[in-house]
Amino acid sequence: MQKRSLIFHSILLTGILMLILPACNQSGEKSKGDKNKAENGQAKIEFEKTEHDFGKIITGERVAYGFRFTNTGNSPLLISGIRSGCGCTVGDYPREPLLPGEGGRINVVFNSAGRNGFQSEGIRVITNAEQSAVRLRITAEVLQQ
């Protein structure tokens, strides 16, 4: 009777081990996958500056500025779009992927027509980078003629 019990427990223990060992191996594979992902890296967008002040401008004047950036990550950077808070600010950006180490410019144009006083507008840059959205800011003091 004791021998049967010992055999039953051995079979039960073997069955449990057969279930546990593959699960351990799978989690090891996930760790390797995470490690490979970390080694492969990701795009990273780094701007020289994220704010620009146009200073004093006359109402109706259109002013432009290019925000320079570099892909400091380990994979290609793709900018999928830019969004501004109003129609008075428009921008242009590189449409092609930028390889690690390559740079570019987000060109922003501010139209001060119909504006007066201190103006502050935000531009959101949408990318595939580590930080997927970056906020840029332009300011100006619009004076009447």
Place of tokens 């620009």: 52
Predicted confidence band of residue 22 (pLDDT cuts 50, 70, 90): very low
pLDDT of residue 41: 83
pLDDT of residue 18: 53
- Please state whether the predicted TM-score (pTM) of the whole model is above 0.75: no
Tens-place pLDDT, residues 42-79: 999 999 999 999 999 999 999 999 999 999 999 999 99
d(CA 105, CA 46): 11
The set of residues, in sequence order, having a beta carbon less than 8 Å from that of 40 and lying 6+ positions away, is: 74, 75
d(CA 121, CA 83): 11
d(CA 53, CA 80): 26
pLDDT of residue 13: 47
Lowest mean pLDDT among 4-8, 80-84, 104-108: 4-8
Task: Name the more confident of 34 and 116.
Answer: 116
- The DSSP code for 114 is T
- The DSSP code for 98 is B
Fold of 45-143: Immunoglobulin-like (2.60.40)
